[in-house]
Structure 1
Amino acid sequence: MNYLKLTRPINLLLIALVQVLIKYSIFQPFNAITALSTFQFALLVIATVCIAAGGNVINDVYDAGIDRINRPNRVIVGRKISERNASTWYVILTAMGVGIGFLLANAIGRPMYSTLFIGVAALLYLYATYIKTLLLMGTVLVSVLVAMSMVIVGVFDIIPVTNPANQLTQWTVFKLVLQYAVFAFMLNFLRELIKDLQDINGDKNGGKNTLPIAIGRKRATSVAFVLGILITLSVIFYMYEFLYDHTPAVLYFLFLIVAPLLFFCIKAFEAEKPKHYALLSTLLKIVMVTGMCSMVLYPFVIL
């Protein structure tokens, strides 16, 4: 059970859910031509989840000292699992992910695509060991990799079978995935900032140079508030531009995405204590889930 907890299974389930939604709530309703069979798509999901799980494990290995300050009751590495066993678990998960990715890339006749899995695994290791100590670099990298977990579905399932005859339809579908990926990037960037605000004491002792450490908690909170406003306005603009004549979709976005974001902005404006930042982090996670689940609306929107 502790080995499972180390992988952060809820986050992994969200990654898998989003990839399934892209395949069956976007690609299929738009009648996009796809390259992956059901079995091959399952392999893609498994490979992605394994590499993400490995990244979570190795990050906890290198964050064990910081977590003893920030989350003393939730520390696993060094208490319930030895550092050596956790590192072995990381190697197993990452090797499985890269291996499955290699087999999948060759199965669809795109062997070079396997470098995506190798590259992501390498970046996750570099993040855990070095990049997260650099100002904003770690936050940006993690957010890019979250977005990549969505884009990779289009790379493997859409791009290999795109040709001049179907390019317009394929690009329309892929562009929709990119829009969701940008939304995921922005939300995750903001959530990472909130987590840095929450963990500022442990991060200082761990030698990190996060934005709250660099400019102070108060200024960083103001940045989070402004980013929250910008994301909220972006969602409202998207609703006006693409969904204004689809009432059920508009109501979904208003009550399950915009409303929590507005509540986030209100709470961010007055946030000062760790419990305030914990609430803000939870709110963003809820918005991430409801935002991704809005993909189920597209079969109804396009009919």
Structure 2
Amino acid sequence: MLNLLNLIRWKNLLMIALAQLLLKYALLEPFGIATSLDGFGIFLLIFATICIAAAGNIINDIYDVETDFVNKPHKLIVGNSISEKTAYNLFIIFNIIGVGVGFYISHLVGKSPFFSLFVIISALLYVYATYLKRTLLIGNIVISILVGLSVLIVGIFELLPVLTLENRAIQLTFFKIILDYAMFAFLLNLLREIAKDLEDIDGDYKAGMNTLPIAIGRDRTTKVLFVLSIIPIFLIIYYVVNSLYTDIFAAGYYIFFIIGPIIFTSIKLFSAKTKKDYHFISDLLKLVMFFGVLSLLIYYFNLKA
């Protein structure tokens, strides 16, 4: 069971589930925003999302056996504790369940075309694992878009089906907030994907992949990563200055738990040389993403106060 949980990356799936739950119950529900999903509906949306994400993680591991054998042999699951055939079967099962539940939810909210989102996400995760991740930057961008979409999909299914002329302004205001979080997830995941490519350069090179560190070298990629890390820092500072300057607690949270760690990451890049250094940077960015998810609670507590 533990091997299966590690195969589907249960910690990442929990973060997706937490983000979607907080969007529903810390951002939308407390403010009385019109939504299309009840408690069971949001459960189904979360279930569909994590099933498709789990399938994506499985197919990624299947096609990563060669690189993982070099990069992290102690964490190799497919072909070791779980056979490749079993992994393929699990990939198919999770996909069928996720897409099937997505089909039901789309009809539940009266927007059957939304079903195509689940099919597209499932297909892109397969194409990413089998081809795109071997291409220069495209794989990094695509997987980061899908991470952002796991956030945005809540706004798509909760707000758009009940959009009317009367509530248009408030619905779009909250949709923009969710879009901002999706952009934040995209940017941080893009940074993390590049950091992981720096960490895994040896195995990726032996597998014939064309990641950014292989194409332009580790030093240049580190500089690119530093420049990219500046973008979320300025965007979040802009948000804090323009939207949270009167809220000391919220501003403090963003400064100490999000802006500060990203700045630390940028500084750390100057001295990063080893696989261990890049692994630390990757883990730190993941922690920032977690604090970013928890920042949704600020809306809830501010309302209660």
- The residue that corresponds to 1:195 in the other structure is 196
Letter in 1 for 2:276: K
- The residue that corresponds to 2:223 in the other structure is 222
**Helix, strand or coil: the match of 1:28?**
helix
- The residue that corresponds to 1:66 in the other structure is 67
Alpha-carbon distance between aligned partners in 2 of 1:241 and 1:183, rounded to the nearest angstrom = 17
Shift in Å, 1:244: 0.6
Alignment of 1:107-256 (within 5 A): 107-256=108-257
- The residue that corresponds to 1:89 in the other structure is 90
Using structure 1 for the length normalisation, give the TM-score. Answer: 0.98
- The residue that corresponds to 2:288 in the other structure is 287
Q: For each residue in 1:81-140, what CA deviation from the matched residue of structure 2 results, as whole angstroms up to 9, or x when unmatched?
A: 111110001000111000111111112221111111011001000011111111111000
Alpha-carbon distance between aligned partners in 2 of 1:162 and 1:229, rounded to the nearest angstrom = 36
Alpha-carbon distance between aligned partners in 1 of 2:21 and 2:150, rounded to the nearest angstrom = 11
Letter in 1 for 2:195: I
- The residue that corresponds to 1:48 in the other structure is 49
For structure 1, the 5+ residue unaligned runs are: none
Letter in 1 for 2:173: T
Q: For each residue in 1:249-299, what CA deviation from the matched residue of structure 2 results, as whole angstroms up to 9, or x when unmatched?
A: 011111111111111111111111111101101110110000111010013
- The residue that corresponds to 2:269 in the other structure is 268
Letter in 1 for 2:281: L
**Larger displacement relative to structure 2 (291-300 or 188-197):** 291-300
Shift in Å, 1:233: 1.8
Alpha-carbon distance between aligned partners in 1 of 2:17 and 2:78, rounded to the nearest angstrom = 25
Shift in Å, 1:229: 2.1
Alpha-carbon distance between aligned partners in 1 of 2:43 and 2:232, rounded to the nearest angstrom = 32
Report if aligned partners of 1:30, 1:173 keep a CA contact under 8 Å in 2. Answer: no
- The residue that corresponds to 1:3 in the other structure is 4
Corresponding residue pairs, total = 303
Alpha-carbon distance between aligned partners in 2 of 1:164 and 1:147, rounded to the nearest angstrom = 27
Alpha-carbon distance between aligned partners in 1 of 2:81 and 2:105, rounded to the nearest angstrom = 35
**Helix, strand or coil: the match of 1:78?**
coil
Alpha-carbon distance between aligned partners in 2 of 1:262 and 1:228, rounded to the nearest angstrom = 8
Report if aligned partners of 1:7, 1:53 keep a CA contact under 8 Å in 2. Answer: yes
Alpha-carbon distance between aligned partners in 2 of 1:17 and 1:226, rounded to the nearest angstrom = 30
For structure 2, the 5+ residue unaligned runs are: none
Letter in 1 for 2:199: Q
Alpha-carbon distance between aligned partners in 1 of 2:30 and 2:220, rounded to the nearest angstrom = 45
Q: For each residue in 1:129-188, what CA deviation from the matched residue of structure 2 results, as whole angstroms up to 9, or x when unmatched?
A: 111111111000000000000111111111000011000000000000000100110000
Alpha-carbon distance between aligned partners in 2 of 1:125 and 1:259, rounded to the nearest angstrom = 35
Alpha-carbon distance between aligned partners in 1 of 2:41 and 2:254, rounded to the nearest angstrom = 32
Alpha-carbon distance between aligned partners in 1 of 2:232 and 2:38, rounded to the nearest angstrom = 36
Q: For each residue in 1:13-69, what CA deviation from the matched residue of structure 2 results, as whole angstroms up to 9, or x when unmatched?
A: 000000001111111233210001110110000000000000000000010111000
**Larger displacement relative to structure 2 (272-281 or 225-234):** 225-234
- The residue that corresponds to 1:75 in the other structure is 76
Using structure 2 for the length normalisation, give the TM-score. Answer: 0.97
Q: For each residue in 1:221-243, what CA deviation from the matched residue of structure 2 results, as whole angstroms up to 9, or x when unmatched?
A: 01111112222122111110111
Alpha-carbon distance between aligned partners in 2 of 1:136 and 1:263, rounded to the nearest angstrom = 24
Report if aligned partners of 1:190, 1:228 keep a CA contact under 8 Å in 2. Answer: yes
- The residue that corresponds to 2:37 in the other structure is 36
Alpha-carbon distance between aligned partners in 2 of 1:213 and 1:122, rounded to the nearest angstrom = 26
In angstroms, what is the RMSD of aligned CA positions?
A: 1.0
